[in-house]
Each structure stands twice: as C-alpha cells, then as structure tokens.
Chains A and B, each alone.
Chain A
Amino acid sequence: MTTPWLDGYELVVGLEVHVELTTQTKMWCGCATTFGDEPNTNVCPVCSGQPGALPVPNRQAVHDATLLGLALGGSISPRCRFHRKNYFYPDLAKNYQISQYDVPLVLDGRLEVEVERDGELVTEVVGIERLHMEEDTGKSLHLGATGRLHGADRSAIDYNRSGVPLLEIVSHPDIRDPETAQAYLRELQAIVRTLGVSDARMEEGSMRCDANVSVRRPGAELGTRCEIKNLNSVRSLGRAIRFEALRQVQVLEDGGAIVMETRHWDEEAGVTRTLRRKETVTDYRYFPDPDLVEMTTTPEAVERVRAELPELPAVTRARLAATGVPRAQAATILAGGMLTLLDDAVAAGAAAPAVANWLAGEVTGHVSAGDATLEGTGLTGAHLAELVAMVDEGALSSTMAKQVLAGVFESAGTKGPRAVAAEGGLEQIGDDAALGAVIDEVVAANADTVAAVRGGNEKAIGALVGQVMRATQGRADPKRTNELLQRAIAAADG
C-alpha cells in the first residue's frame, strides 16, 4: 500500500524506544536515580567505573522490565543474561555498556494503537521484536569557547545518570505512517506510566526514541533504512519521519541510492542531517559479562508478575467508551495520568462524561500551560465530583465553575469547590426573584433593544442577556436569564 503523500512509495518505520526505570536505585549499585541533582553526587565506585568495582543487578528493575514485557504481550525468556557492549565514549564510565544481546529478557510483544484516519479512529497493531535491559550512560556537558570554561572546546562528564536502569523496546518495522509512530510512542508512554515503572518524560530524557525510516515501492523488499536520532517529543517524531521519508523519496527519484546511516533531527531547521555512516560503525564486541550470572525464571514466577498487572490503557479506553467518555478525551486523560482522578470522581457519584470533560479540558489545559504538575494541583476525585454536582444542581454556571476550579488549583487542593465558591461569592443566582430584579432594571434601561426584540429581532435579546451577566458578574444562569428576559419583555408588552 502506498503512502498517500509519498508519490507511489510506501513508508516503513520501526522504533527503538528507551525508557529509564524509576527504581529507587541504579541498575548495579545503591545510588539514587534522581534527575537534576548536582553533578557527580549520585555516584559510587560501581557507577563511576572505579577499578575493581563490580555490578550487582537490581531485583526491582528486572521485575519492572518483566512487568512491562508482559503488559506488551511479550514472552519472558526463561534464561537470559547480560552482555558487554564494548565501545569507548567518555560518558560511559567503564567504556562498555552492560546490555543484553542474543537473548533479551522479553521477546515477541505487540502494541495496539488507535490512529485517527479520515476522521475515524482505526486500530493498528505494531509488533514488538524485543525488550531488553541495559544501563544508561552519564551525561556530557559541552563547553564551548564562549561557554563557562576558558579556551578551546571541551566536554565535561557527570556520572549521576550512569547506571540508571534502562529498557530498550524495539518494534518491528510495522509502522506505515507518522501518526501510527506517534500513537505508538504515546501508548507506550501511557502503559509505562500506568504500570508506574517510569515517568517517561521525553523532555527529561527518561523516555527517548530513535526511528528507523525507509521507503519502498509497494511489495518490494525493505529499502535501506536510516536511523533518526534526537527526537525529543512526540511531535518531533512525526515531523522527522515525514521529512526523512520525503527526503528519501527525493533521493530515489533523482536516481540516487539511500545510504545506511544515522541521522540527526534538527528540530529548529526541521531537517535530518548525516551523523555517521553505518559502515564505519564500531564493532561492539559483545560477550557475556563475566561479572554477572544468568537470570532465569519459571512460568509460575512469570504468572505471579502477570497477576500484578493493572488495567492497561486499551482496556481502560474500552471501559471509558462504554461509559460515554469520548475517545479523544479518554486518550488525553490516560496520557495525562488522570485515570485515578476520573475513577475516584465517578466513585464519588459523578457521571464519567462530565468528569472527563473537565479533566481533558480545564485540568489538562492548566497542567500543560504552566509549570504546574498534576500532583501539584492537589486536585482529588472528590473535588471533581463536587464541581460536577454543583453544575448539575445549577449552583454554578459553567463560566463560574471554571473560576471555582482555578480557585481549587490556587489553594493547591486545600479548598474544595464549595468552599472556593462560597468564599468568592461565585455561586450562581438560583433565585428567580433576585435575578428578576436585575432583569427588570436591564429591561427598563434598554428600551430600544427591548423594542427591537419585540419588533421581531430575536437575536437582539443576546445583548440583554449580556447586560444581565455583566450586572451579576457572571453569576446568572444564561439559560434562565433568557427565559426570564423573554417573559419580562412579553409582560412589558401587555
């Protein structure tokens, strides 16, 4: 099948995703995995590569990797071990990375993702070749002549990240468009967050993605692929794949050949550039790490881990769809880690669609707009249920409800919606008599508009509703105001 925008070619994409586990300690030593600490403060002889130090694997990391493997429908290798991947790089404290090679911990998984195509959500299946365990590297800080250091360009290494448990998840080249690639990455992110094994923040590097991109004529052998690196967001992934596919088609159409290479995505320029040619790639000299022993498991042990699996996003989506939550909102809620809030609010008596609307709308907007985190808002399911109830009761207009929610955020969750509304005098005017008095004033003061309405210009009533809303500082129910206005105008007529 050709890709519509690729001029008779088919796009083929496979993804390699790296996920840092949020274990308490690193893969081989008892150092913290905290992000953003002062350089070289979470280090020990093991992760700083001191002579004589030895790695001992973190049981929790192996457990978490197994859990993710099962969530991805993979099979757990009954026997596997760690290998050394030998290459020199200053951020690699031992100049080899402990990784897995011929037998990974997990084989043969799959991920079902939903992609919007022609306005409809379609399910795509992406096969997962393997999931293996390895360790992260340190970080290089590049200091230019104009940087913090004098003299020529230098780099400086911080080993805090060295040895943080890392999973590499390799998909089959099953992806045929950028949207599926993006959906795959989002789904994987949702799953690891649901499992609680990683915070999967691309901006902090705890989730990273490389894309293998090639194009071919439909039915032909797989084309030569290029590996795209430096994809720092879901959006970059889509843009980079699109650019790279078009570039490759152009090369082929010009009679050229694709060179197997690694390319760097330049986010600002929106292009990929050659990083290094694959034929000069290092010979990694993999061999079983003699410092580590074989890992084994049994079907019984695997089933015990499987029993720990929480509801996975796909199941949640189906459940939410059944309760009337729109799929797009469900996706936002899952990606935002807000499912517990939704479930708690529903348990507290609110209708799922109403809660979902708030979560996918205002709450997501608030969290993604500023520096706020979901946890930082202090929002609870009870708050949401209360908010929905107040709107349902007519105690809050939707405009007022947004203000109330903002008040809840402002209090960092220490005040609930009723408290915020009461303190701020934000409750809707539910009393027809009070509202009627305002309406009478507006009718009296706007004789011309009233005449226009009466003269058949029904739209003119909107201006009157607006006047009432202003007079009540938004606390009037617009629908009820409209009704009362019509009644008042009719009465004045008689």
Chain B
Amino acid sequence: MSDRALTRMGAAALADAMRAGDVSAREVTDAHLDVIAAHDGIAAEGDVWHALPTEQLGPDDVHAFLVVTAARARAQADDVDRRRVAGEKLGPLAGVPLALKDVLTMRGVPTTCGSRMLEGWIPPYDATVTRRLLEADVVVLGKTNMDEFAMGSSTENSAYGPTRNPWDLDRVPGGSSGGSAAAVAAGMAPLAIGTDTGGSIRQPAAFTGIVGAKPTYGTVSRYGLVAFASSLDQAGPFARDVTDTALLQALIQGHDPHDATSDALERDDLLASLRAGVDGMRIGVVEELESAGCEPGVRTVFLEAVATLERLGARIERVSLPHVPFGLPAYYLVAPAEASSNLARFDGVRYGMRVDAPSAEAMNAATRATGFGPEVRRRIMIGTHALSSGYVDAYYLQAARIRTLIARDYVAAFEHVDVLISPTAPTVPFRLGERTDDPLAMYRNDVATVPASLAGIPALSVPAGVTPAEEGSGPLPVGLQVMAPLRADARMYRVAYALEQALSLDPDPATHGGARAVRSVRAGGGAS
C-alpha cells in the first residue's frame, strides 16, 4: 500500500487493514510521519521533532505540530504490532495514529498550550483523555499548534506562529484547535483531539473540511486539559469522516472520578444508530444563526445541504431561539472571567517561564506580562474586570443567567425538533492576518458555535460543501453544525452521517483544485 493511500485512509479503514495484516502499525505511523516531515516545517531529526522557529517557517509549511514524538510513536506502533502477532486482543483503534492538541497533558512530553509561558514545561502526569488513548493503543504522534491557551479562532494567536489551512496555505485553519484540524485535513493524522470552549473544534473542522465534535459538557473528562473556561471546555474528536469521529469520541468519553463535573451516567452507544438515517426526523434551522452575518457563499452551501436533508426525508422547520443573539456577548464575559482565574497559576513560581525581579510580586507581574501574548492578556483583563467588585453581578452572573435562558430556549426547541442545524461559521476561512487587528471581528466568527457551548449541548461540524473557486481563491470548505439535546450525542452523529453519505464530498483538499492547497496533496503523489 502506498504512503499516499495510507495517509488518506480513515481510522476505521486503517484499523481494519492492520487487523487483516495488510499493513503494520509501524508502516502506518511511518507514512504519517513522512507527511509531517515533508510538509509541516519541522526539524525531523532525532527522537523528538520540534517545529521550526517562526522565522524559519516557509509559506508552504502547514505547521500543524509543535512537537512530534517520533521515536515514542514508532515504539508504540512496534508494540502494537508485536502484541497483534502475539494474538493479544487489541482495541478498535489500536495502532491508528493521532494528533493531540497541545493543551492536554502527556507525561514526559512538552506541553505549551501555544504559549511562551509554558515553553519547556514537561507535565508530570497524563490527562485522562491521553491515558485513555494510550490504553487503547492509539499511537500519539505529537502535540498540535493552537491559539495561545485556546483563545482565538484562527491559530494566529499561537506564540509559535500560525498554522496554515491545507486547502489554501494563505488562509487560517480556524482555531483554537487549528493544528489538530489541519493535521487531519493534510493527511498527517487520520484522527486528532481538539478542545472546544466556544467553537474551537467545530469552526476549524468547518474551515478545513473535516468533521469535529464537541460532546455534551461533562462527557469527556477535563482532567489534564489545561483550563481556559472550565464551565465550557470540552475535549472532542476530529476525523475526516463521521464514523471515525464517533469512534474516537467513544474512546475518550466516559465518567472520570478526577473531574467533579464529569457526568456519571452511562454514555449512549454512538455507533448503534449511526446509519439510521434522517427519514422522518424533525430538523430545526436556527433562524437567528441562519443568516446572521453569513457570507453569501456560506449561506448558499448551507441551504443546499438543508435541501439535501429534506430530500433524505427530514422535516425541516425554522426555529427561533430568542436568547441566542445574546450568546456571544455572554460568552465573552463568562469565558474571560473564568480564564482570568484559571490562568492565575502561571506566575513563575512552580513551572514555566520566570522573568526575574527583586520581589515575588514584581516577578509574577513581569513573568505574566512577558509570558502571555496580547490576546491572552486582553482576555485576562476583561475577565478580571468582569469579576471585580461592583461588576460581578452585572457581568459574570448576568452572563450565567443568560446561559440558563439559552439552555431553556434549546429545551423548548427540542420539544418540537430532534436536532437543530446552522452554518458552523459565518465565513469561509479568512486570510492570515486579515482579522488580527480587530478582536471583535475575530470574536464574531464564533457566533454560531458559542450558543451550544453556553448550553452545554453536543454539537458537531460536518462538511456541507465547497464554495466555488473565485478570483484569487480556490474552492473553500463550508461546515454545517448539528446540535442535539444534552446527552443525545448519538443523534447528532446520525444526522451528520446521513448528510455525509448523501453528499459524498472528498475531504482531500487536493481534489478541489485550489492553487494554494497543500503541495503533496495537490500533487496527489507519495508523501516523501
């Protein structure tokens, strides 16, 4: 099997091939490492590969990974192969490579959260998600680039330079989990883990033409996920198809006694009803999100996808969620407020950067001013203000009340419809640098993803189509967001699967003919 084939195969297909003995885990891992070595702008030498310094990154480097644990990944793959030969029963995704967002800890592997603050930090423990992946013999290739401390919608806020979109290397892959999404889209890994606080999985999935899901809050453990906004953060899966995405969520979800906010109820089987179709299902289009700030190209693709669902037998209704327009302002109070407290621990005392000063207080302040980038500082300032005496009720608590109202809107809507849908993002991927000077414009890209985060409901983004090529731009992917009631994650996968099968889009950026699509993919040849 050629490298090219291996790196465009899905996780389930790779697992089947390995089980059948057609390919070894080591070959699969090496094929993906080859793509990374060729196209990610990384110093592919030694046991641990480090991303090139920003100034050495080229315009064709995807820069999805910050660190690639090559030797460790190969050893893990060899171990899987050995145990398979020995006849051990292995997990469903054993030997499948995966990219881990650099916000989840992995013992012994550097974790930076895309920040200078944590440069060189080696966590002394595994996140629960990491532990579950390793126990399932998933091969962790490395840690992916992200907006600093997951604050951003473009991965441009990484202290280590932006990730580029494999569909168009001059455009952003979305964020904050842009590295994970780009890795999957570019064939550097069939699976990736991201985290989603206000859309940080769904929006990059939409921007890179793949599937990304934010599970119901409490479904996946947050232990070892370096917190941005604790009441919103959820880790979730990325893959190039819905089945793989569901398989990966099934692997990482489950109750964790180390996370007091983790749901103790049994999770639904995400695969059992995957192929049940949408015939007779009631699907609501969220009126407030259908057109709000949507670019015409996005709207066109979205409406075509809605028409497809209708053809599949779904009953489409327009549903109003009256408090949704307040979601974005509420989010930009709740998330920074929690972040201001969560990020207080980065003070130069226990780990990470220290800027010396004559007193502990001055050392803290100098370290934090130096270690945090502009967007993180901005959000810490907003959040500190939102919690300060005299403001906490009008800002943080009022925003938390709006969460309750939005959650009630969803409950009311789900009495009439089975799922709700909207465009995942109001725009196609924008150009690098296009929005970095206007924080509010950047924030507005989260308008459609934030409400589900605030309500805690599950939501995913599935490719809905591709905008036509235009002057100066190749075709770009558009995502459709499916939202389901609390704990009904299986239902959103079912709808997404039906749409995916009906559209049968090719997730390979190369097949759509963009001039700036990642080179190897456009060439369609071997990776190395």
A and B touch in the complex (CB under 8 A): yes
Chain A contacts to B: CB under 8 angstroms: 45, 48-57, 84, 86, 88, 90, 93-96, 152, 155, 157, 283, 285-287, 290-293
**CB contact list, B128-148 vs A, under 8 A:** none
A51-B118, A95-B345, A286-B392 known; A56-B127 Cβ under 8 A: no
Q: Which residue of B lies closest to A57 (CB)?
A: B260
A54-B223, A93-B345 known; A285-B389 Cβ under 8 A: yes
Q: Are A50 and B123 in contact (CB under 8 A)?
A: yes
Q: Is B231 an interface residue (CB 8 A)?
A: yes
Among candidates A51, A57, A90, residue contacting B113 with C-beta atoms closer than 8 Å: A51
Residues of A contacting B225 in the complex (Cβ-Cβ under 8 angstroms) = 52
Interface of chain A: mostly helix, strand, loop or mixed: loop
Q: A152 CA to B397 CA in the complex, in Å?
A: 45
Q: A146 CA to B408 CA in the complex, in Å?
A: 64
Q: Is B344 an interface residue (CB 8 A)?
A: yes
Q: A350 CA to B229 CA in the complex, in Å?
A: 65
In the complex, what's the smallest C-beta–C-beta distance from A59 to chain B, in angstroms?
A: 12
Q: Are A53 and B230 in contact (CB under 8 A)?
A: no
Residues of A contacting B350 in the complex (Cβ-Cβ under 8 angstroms) = 48-50, 93
**CB contact list, B333-348 vs A, under 8 A:** 337-338, 340-341, 344-347
**CB contact list, B208-236 vs A, under 8 A:** 222-227, 229-231
Q: Is B176 an interface residue (CB 8 A)?
A: no
Q: Is B191 an interface residue (CB 8 A)?
A: no
Residues of B contacting A96 in the complex (Cβ-Cβ under 8 angstroms) = 341, 344
Q: Are A54 and B222 in contact (CB under 8 A)?
A: yes
Q: A157 CA to B348 CA in the complex, in Å?
A: 13
Q: Are A283 and B124 in contact (CB under 8 A)?
A: no
Q: A285 CA to B393 CA in the complex, in Å?
A: 11
Can you name 21 A-B residue pairings with CB atoms under 8 Å?
A: A48-B350, A50-B123, A50-B351, A51-B118, A51-B121, A51-B351, A52-B223, A52-B227, A56-B257, A56-B258, A56-B260, A86-B344, A86-B387, A88-B364, A90-B360, A95-B345, A96-B344, A285-B387, A286-B392, A291-B227, A293-B260
6 shortest A-B CB distances, which residue pairs? A95-B344, A290-B231, A285-B387, A290-B230, A51-B226, A52-B224
Q: Are A285 and B392 in contact (CB under 8 A)?
A: yes
Q: Are B344 and A88 in contact (CB under 8 A)?
A: yes
Q: Which residue of A lies closest to B218 (CB)?
A: A293
In the complex, what's the smallest C-beta–C-beta distance from B347 to chain A, in angstroms?
A: 6
Q: Is B259 an interface residue (CB 8 A)?
A: yes
Residues of B contacting A157 in the complex (Cβ-Cβ under 8 angstroms) = 349
Q: Are A283 and B388 in contact (CB under 8 A)?
A: yes
Residues of A contacting B361 in the complex (Cβ-Cβ under 8 angstroms) = 88
Q: A293 CA to B351 CA in the complex, in Å?
A: 28
Q: A84 CA to B230 CA in the complex, in Å?
A: 12
Residues of A contacting B76 in the complex (Cβ-Cβ under 8 angstroms) = none
Q: Is B453 an interface residue (CB 8 A)?
A: no
Q: Is B111 an interface residue (CB 8 A)?
A: yes
**CB contact list, B12-47 vs A, under 8 A:** none
Q: Which residue of A lies closest to B259 (CB)?
A: A54
Q: Is B167 an interface residue (CB 8 A)?
A: no
Q: Is B105 an interface residue (CB 8 A)?
A: yes
Task: Write the B111-126 contact mask toward A (1 if CB under 8 angstroms, else 0).
Answer: 1010000100101110
Q: A86 CA to B223 CA in the complex, in Å?
A: 21
Task: Write the B132-173 contact mask toward A (1 if CB under 8 angstroms, else 0).
Answer: 000000000000000000000000000000000000000000
Task: Write the B257-269 contact mask toward A (1 if CB under 8 angstroms, else 0).
Answer: 1111100000000
Q: A85 CA to B425 CA in the complex, in Å?
A: 36
Residues of A contacting B223 in the complex (Cβ-Cβ under 8 angstroms) = 52-54
Q: Is B104 an interface residue (CB 8 A)?
A: yes
Q: A43 CA to B358 CA in the complex, in Å?
A: 28
Q: A434 CA to B346 CA in the complex, in Å?
A: 83
Q: A50 CA to B346 CA in the complex, in Å?
A: 9
Q: Are A86 and B260 in contact (CB under 8 A)?
A: no
Q: Are B349 and A90 in contact (CB under 8 A)?
A: yes
Q: A486 CA to B252 CA in the complex, in Å?
A: 96
Residues of A contacting B364 in the complex (Cβ-Cβ under 8 angstroms) = 88
Q: Is B245 an interface residue (CB 8 A)?
A: no
Q: A285 CA to B346 CA in the complex, in Å?
A: 18
Among candidates A50, A52, A57, A287, residue contacting B387 with C-beta atoms closer than 8 Å: A287
In the complex, what's the smallest C-beta–C-beta distance from A50 to chain B, in angstroms?
A: 7
Residues of A contacting B349 in the complex (Cβ-Cβ under 8 angstroms) = 90, 157
Among candidates B104, B224, B261, B384, residue contacting A291 with C-beta atoms closer than 8 Å: B261
